[in-house]
Copies of this chain bind each other. A is one copy, B any other.
């Protein structure tokens, strides 16, 4: 009898509906693991706002170290009505992204069966945003001068390095090569922004090495417009931290809901664990009611399985979601009446019968 492959995954359910959708995901992943001959050793981390109220921080001082020997992190959501985003994000999400050099934020978007795109005549979409995740417009450099005075000003430094742009461009080019070969780079090099001509140069020199990948650089303002007017022109989009943040939410909305989209924070060299999280928040208004849609969390778990090297299980999870959605089983956010448990049970049945 062979020993099953085992992956160690840290589980941070976090706040609000995170506590409901993360357990849904672990049950489904366990079921897939059974069928596909691997095992997940879950390590539950009771971190987040509840931890903050007790300990004055979102995770232990050595939180990063604790996570560092795992294979992946599955995150629910962080955010609490009584805590500033500043605490909840900077105390947990952002340090994990940065300390583990998760320099890729991957955001696939599809219109799931039964979901209606807000765009006329659009019933399918299949776009992946590759967002730079550790530098760019989100650098830690900046601050405020003469606070409170009439002369006050605030500075925020955007920092783009050749290393940082090269690696995200390479990741995106490889992804594009494995898909249609079409790669769009979001830029703003026609104006004053000093960093974007540099971005353009690095991206195009990286992409030159990839035969069969065709690069289009599109100004971010024109790109936002084009996504709405001609969404089928786009397949893989590579973008800076801020541009990727805006464009991926826009595209998720074009697919009908930002409540179901997943994201992966990836450290491609695998020197550190990667983190998988839905793009929705902790949704305190519906937390505890058992009505949250677990799709974003399940989809994120599918990205995790793919990353761990279990593509068949990852694909099986997506087919199960598609099947359940196609059968009309929907949560309240999509106009249905299924609860989190009903939806999860249906996904488990679909996995079992596949």
A40 at the interface (CB under 8 A from B): no
A352 within 8 A of B: no
Query: From residue 198 to 253 of chain A, which have CB atoms closer than 8 A to chain B?
Result: 198-199, 220-222, 224-226, 228-229, 242, 245-250, 252-253
Smallest CB gap from A221: residue in B: B249
Shortest CB distance A88–B (Å): 9
Which residues of the other chain, B, contact A152 by a CB distance below 8 angstroms? Answer: 161-162, 198
Is B154 touching A194 in the complex (CB atoms < 8 A)?
yes
Q: Contact check: which of B144, B161, B228 meets A254 at CB < 8 Å? A: B228
Closest to A84 in B: B190
Query: Contacts A153-B160, A253-B224: A242 and B188 contacting too (C-beta < 8 A)?
Result: yes
A89 touches B194 (CB 8 A): no
Known A118-B120, A158-B156; judge A140-B225 contact (CB<8 A).
Answer: no
What residues on B are CB-neighbors of A196 within 8 Å?
Answer: 156
Q: Is the CB of B249 within 8 A of A142?
A: no
Which residues of the other chain, B, contact A89 by a CB distance below 8 angstroms? Answer: 190-191
- Contacts A119-B120, A155-B157, A155-B159 given; does A224 touch B195 at CB 8 Å: no
Q: Does A258 contact B (CB under 8 A)?
A: yes
A229 to B252: give the CA distance in the assembly, Å: 10
Interface range, A side: 35 or more
User: Closest CB of chain B to A122's CB: distance in Å?
Assistant: 8
Number of copies: 2
Nearest CB in chain B: distance from A124 CB, A: 15
A119-B118, A249-B224, A254-B228 given; A157·B159 CB < 8 A: no
Cα of A246 to Cα of B249 in the assembled complex, Å: 13
What chain B residues lie within 8 Å of A249 (beta carbons)? 221-222, 224-225
A44 at the binding interface (Cβ < 8 Å): no
Q: How far is the CB of A221 from chain B (nearest CB, A)?
A: 4
Shortest distance in angstroms between A283's beta carbon and chain B's nearest beta carbon? 13
Shortest CB–CB separation between residue A98 and chain B, in angstroms? 10
The chain B residue with its CB closest to the CB of A137 is B193
- How many angstroms between the C-alpha atoms of A42 and B249 in the bound complex? 45
A178 at the interface (CB under 8 A from B): no
Q: Closest chain B residue to A226 by CB distance?
A: B253
Closest to A224 in B: B250
Q: B253 contacts A194, CB within 8 Å? A: no
Return A352 CB to nearest CB of chain B, in Å: 35
15 pairs, A vs B, C-beta closer than 8 Å? A94-B191, A142-B193, A152-B161, A153-B162, A154-B160, A156-B157, A156-B194, A156-B195, A220-B245, A221-B248, A222-B258, A224-B247, A224-B249, A225-B250, A228-B250
Contacts from A to B (Cβ < 8 Å): 85-86, 89-90, 94, 116-120, 137-140, 142-144, 149-163, 188-196, 198-199, 220-222, 224-226, 228-229, 242, 245-250, 252-254, 258
